[in-house]
Structures are given as structure tokens and as C-alpha cells.
Structure 1
Amino acid sequence: MSQEKRSQIAQNLLSIHQEIKSLSRQYEVSEPVLLPVSKKQSVTKILDAYKCGERQFAESYFQEAVEKIKALPEDIIWHYIGHIQSNKLKVIAEHFDWIHTLASRSHAKKLNRYCQQCEKVMNVCIQINVDQEPQKSGIDIIQSEEINVMVNEIIDNCPSLQLKGLMCILAHTDNYDKQLASFLQLRTLQDELKARYGLSLDTLSMGMSADISAAIAAGSTILRVGQAVFGAR
């Protein structure tokens, strides 16, 4: 990688961290964590971000991710944010520290079993389909019974899974008010679950490059940002 490209990633990271800090002050909320999304990015680019101080990265594709995880420093915390395939849960358990896209009781049970075999506890978020898009994964936000069943499954029957909170991916829109309304739905749902179950859920994984401002305003704790960090793939 050229010095120019390395400098660009460093500048991108500086710029986005400054934006996150500024927006957090503007909305008077706690500053969320920046989670660089490194799918389809090279080991060299990820390592450059690592040298800038980043220690957490997110991946979506199993085979590509495993190769990069093996090649990169061991102190990186890896987040899985992609679609879950049942036959790949063993790979997720073995190589990742977080999974943001859990939305099935059967997947939770299987993931728990594999984590037990690995003698590890994995942080998990339940994916919620806040905009009720049929093509998107996640539990539909209006399916309150299904959400409650999922929460109960994790906290009662999956000791190797630590439920941290909720995750969403919005329908594509550039309308700030629509973005904010959707994110606030997820925050309200999390507040309801915390009150109902007495849980100390502390993670709202929401917000990407195109909707950072609304996500921060709504109280995001993890921003999943790819292009704004690494540039176009």
C-alpha cells in the first residue's frame, strides 16, 4: 500500500472520530464506539487502521474473515455482522468475539453449544427489523412475542451467550427524520426489554456511514462504518 493510501485511512479515521465527538456533544449523549467494517478490505488496509489505534473490526463473510483473523494481531476484537448460516455457526464461535445478527432460537442454541465447546462466552445482539422490510433479516419489530421468546431463550438456556443489546439496519433513506424515528424505535424497544427482564443491556448497534448523525442522536453505542473509514471497495 502506498504512503498516500495509508495517510488517507489515517485521515479518514481522524475525521470520523472528530465527527462522532462533535455530534455526541451536540446531542448531549455518550460517545459511541466506532466499529470499522472491514469486509472486502485487505489485510494491509486493516493493519493500517490497527496502527492508527483501532482494535475492533467487523466482518460479514466467513471464509474471507477467517483468513484475515489468522493473519492479523491477536488482540483485535472481531464482530460478526453478516447473515447467519446455520452450518457456519461453528466458525463464528471459533473466531469471533461478538455477533450482531442473532435472530433465531435455533441459531442461539447451536451457537451456545459451539461456544461451550470453545470454552468461551460470546457477546450477542438480537437483530431487529425496525422498518419491517421483507428482504431484510431480523425479527420484525412488531413481533413482540417472538422477541420475548428470543430474549428468554438466550438468558435462560444459553449460558455461553451474553445478551448485550439490539442491532438494526435501516431501510435506505436520506431523510434524517425517518432515520431518527426508526432508531428511536429500537432504543424504545431496548428500554422496554431492560425494564421487563431487569437486564443491563448496554449496546445499541445502529448507524452506518449514511446515517451516523441520526444514530448518535438516538443513542447508538456502536456505529458500524465501512466506506467512511476505508474508502470505496
Structure 2
Amino acid sequence: MSIQSNLQHIKSSLPENVTLVAVSKTKPVSDLMEAYDAGQRIFGENKVQEMTEKWQQMPKDIQWHMIGHVQSNKVKYMVPYVKLIHGVDSFKLLKEINRQAKRYRKNINCLLQISIAEEETKFGLNEEELNEILNSEEFKTFENVKIVGLMGMATFTDNQEQIRKEFLHLKEIFDKYKEFSAFNFQLSTLSMGMSGDYQLAIECGSTMVRIGSSIFGGR
């Protein structure tokens, strides 16, 4: 099947309230343009340099999402154009995003990455660290970032019940913190689910899915 057919097939299966991020990391611009020509406007990359090169070459109505682990020293390169940073997993990183956004007189939307998987290899904040950020006096002064949602990655396993349990745990945290509202913290997006588990993620309340191989084929 072509990229266009894959996209149409996936989009037809998504509820209206779920946003599709086409994960285009390592794929050539020609593949991304095929998806673009089929109507896709939101692309997710996991390396700042690769995303910047693609942004320079491609139409400017694309929303670029940074979905990978972000190093603080790379933030400045994407601030001019990035639409959403998914994996904000430390206060230090959030502080740097705010600092660079201020420099460019921009406001950057972010998702806080919450650790829900049993694997040690996954990044993310636990609930205690999330609380620390929200109750920090310094966070209350951040005028150039806005936390618009939470993101999480389930354990890489075939055990559907374990994945379901992890997704539901994140949904529980999301619902709990939805009550917390500040000028720079208003949760509306719950990003969970990838090619292998996005349907289960949607059942558990996801409003944004990150799909790569089911659109572009394997890497």
C-alpha cells in the first residue's frame, strides 16, 4: 500500500477528537511530501537537526512536533518554528524552552512526559516531580511556555493488559491535573499510542497518536 492509502486508512479509523501526528523521523522529504499531498499537515521528528533541515525544505503550513528526548542545548535550534514539544521530562528542560522562547518572543506549547512504563529506558516525570514543577514559584513566572497536555509511552510488550493498565494510569493522572489551571498550564491534549497500540490508547482516552511505520513503512 502507498503512503497515501495508509494515511487514508488510518484517518478513517480515528475518532474526530483524535489528532494524528505522522512520525517521519529518518524518512526522506519525498515520503513526507507524499503524505503532505495526501492532506497530512502534522509531522513528528525525534532529532532537532533532521527536523530543522526538513522544515527548511518543506511547505510552511506544516506543524512540526518534536517527539523525541530533547537535550537542553538543542532547544534554540527549533524554537523559531516548532509547534509542540512532546517530551518535556525535566524542569531544567522546561526552563530552557521558556528562556529560548522569550529570546525569540514566542510562546511554545509543551507536553509533560510522564513515566508510565515499567522499563527503565523510558524517560519521564513521576507524579511527585510533576507536583514539584506545578508548585514551584519559578514555574509560575514562565510566560513563554504553555503546558497543554501530558504524554506517555507504554512498555514495549505484547501484553495488552499491561499496556492498557499503563494507559489508564496516565489518563487518571491527566484527569486529576485537568482541574489544575494556570495561565501557563491548561491540559487539553493526552498524547499516547503509536503504530502498535494506538487503537488501545484511544480506547483509554488518548486525543493524540504518534504513528510512523503504519504510514511510511518500517525503518
TM-score w.r.t. the length of structure 2 is 0.92
- Percent identity over the alignment is 37
Q: CA deviation at 1:136?
A: 1.3
Q: Is 1:81 matched with 2:81?
A: no
Q: Residues 103-158 of structure 1: CA distance to partner in whole angstroms, max 9, x if unpaired?
A: 11111111101001111111100001102432111113xxx321112234585122
- Partners of 1:155 and 1:163 within 8 A in 2: no
Q: Residues 161-192 of structure 1: CA distance to partner in whole angstroms, max 9, x if unpaired?
A: 11111001111122322222111111110111
Q: Is 1:130 matched with 2:116?
A: yes
Q: Distance in 2 between matches of 1:53 and 1:103?
A: 31
**Structure 1 SS opposite 2:110:** strand
- Partners of 1:128 and 1:167 within 8 A in 2: yes
Q: Distance in 2 between matches of 1:130 and 1:136?
A: 9
Match of 2:130 in 1: 147
Q: Distance in 1 between matches of 2:94 and 2:17?
A: 30
Q: Residues 188-207 of structure 1: CA distance to partner in whole angstroms, max 9, x if unpaired?
A: 10111122447641100100
User: Which structure 2 residue ranges, 5 or more long, are not aligned?
Assistant: none
Q: Distance in 2 between matches of 1:32 and 1:15?
A: 15
Q: CA deviation at 1:98?
A: 0.7
Match of 1:95 in 2: 81
Q: Distance in 1 between matches of 2:56 and 2:26?
A: 16
Matches within 5 A, 1:51-62: 51-62=37-48
Aligned-residue Cα RMSD (Å) equals 1.7
Letter in 2 for 1:179: I
Matches within 5 A, 1:36-55: 36-55=22-41
- Partners of 2:149 and 2:189 within 8 A in 1: yes
Q: Is 1:208 matched with 2:202?
A: no
Letter in 2 for 1:43: V
Q: CA deviation at 1:8?
A: 0.3
Q: Distance in 2 between matches of 1:134 and 1:73?
A: 38
Q: Is 1:13 matched with 2:11?
A: no
Query: Equivalent of 1:105, from 70, 91, 96?
Result: 91
Q: Distance in 1 between matches of 2:77 and 2:216?
A: 26
User: Which structure 1 residue ranges, 5 or more long, are not aligned?
Assistant: 1-6, 22-29
Letter in 1 for 2:134: V
Q: CA deviation at 1:93?
A: 1.5
**Structure 2 SS opposite 1:159:** coil
- Structure 1 segments (4+ residues) deviating >6 Å: none
Q: Distance in 2 between matches of 1:131 and 1:97?
A: 26
Q: Distance in 2 between matches of 1:112 and 1:102?
A: 12
Match of 1:25 in 2: none
